[in-house]
């Protein structure tokens, strides 16, 4: 990780940045459990350590943070790239309104599409129900017409 981000001095710094981002910016990193072996004098133990896994996009953001720290400071630099609320707070009122309208339109479009698929499923299920109901009525009528006395050794006396 230190090789990928120029200007990052230690893993401790990266860990402090990540903790700050998770606490103050409501951003979550992906964690994974990595196996490692510890050797004692008597046996070998295999343990798992919870480790943050950074994506390529996050590494690029860290690189941009390193470049901005001398001008803006650590907190503001981290907030610019990892805090969604900071981006909205820094916008002008008119820009904020257009962003809100854009997000609402996207949500309405996805809800409308899901509503259409649900109505299609309901219509399909109604057709299946009607077909099954007709089949059930046909099956009920068949035994009434087939009620004849059976012949053979298994014939029941009436």
Q: Is the dihedral of CA 20, 21, 23, 29 positive or negative?
A: negative
**C-alpha torsion sign, points 131, 137, 141, 142:** positive
Q: Quote the distance between the C-alpha of residue 29 and its chain's center.
A: 13
Lookup: tokens for 99 = 């962003």
Q: Give the pLDDT confidence of 98-139 residue by residue, as tens digits.
A: 877 888 899 999 999 999 999 999 999 999 999 999 999 888
What Cα–Cα distance (Å) separates residue 83 from each residue in 25, 32, 90, 91?
Answer: 5, 23, 11, 13
Mean pLDDT of the chain: 77
Say how far apart CA 147 and CA 156 lie, in whole Å. Answer: 13
In angstroms, the CA 113 to CA 126 distance is 20
| 35, 65, 85 from 27: Cα distances, Å | 26, 15, 11
Tokens of 142: 């068949």
Bigger pLDDT: 105 vs 58: 105
Question: What pLDDT band is residue 27 in, cutting at 50, 70 and 90?
Answer: confident
Residue in the block written with tokens 């120029």: 6
Most confident of 45-59, 71-85, 106-120: 106-120
Task: Assign 60 to helix, strand or coil.
Answer: helix
Cα(63)–Cα(40) distance, integer angstroms: 39
Mean pLDDT, residues 9-28:
80
Find tokens 């299920």 and name the residue: 125
């Amino acid at each position: 990780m230190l090789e990928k981000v120029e200007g990052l001095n230690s893993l401790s710094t990266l860990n402090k940045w990540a903790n700050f981002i998770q606490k103050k910016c409501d951003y979550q990193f992906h964690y994974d459990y990595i196996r490692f072996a510890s050797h004692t004098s008597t046996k070998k133990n295999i343990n798992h350590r919870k480790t943050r896994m950074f994506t390529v996009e996050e590494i690029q953001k860290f690189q941009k943070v390193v470049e901005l720290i001398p001008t803006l400071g650590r907190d503001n630099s981290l907030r610019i790239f990892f805090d969604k609320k900071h981006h909205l707070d820094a916008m002008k009122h008119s820009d904020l309104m257009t962003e809100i309208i854009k997000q609402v339109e996207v949500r309405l479009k996805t809800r409308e599409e899901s509503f259409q698929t649900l109505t299609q499923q309901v219509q399909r299920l109604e057709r299946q129900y009607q077909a099954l109901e007709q089949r059930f009525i046909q099956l009920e009528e068949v035994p009434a017409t087939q009620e004849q006395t059976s012949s053979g050794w298994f014939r029941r006396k009436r």
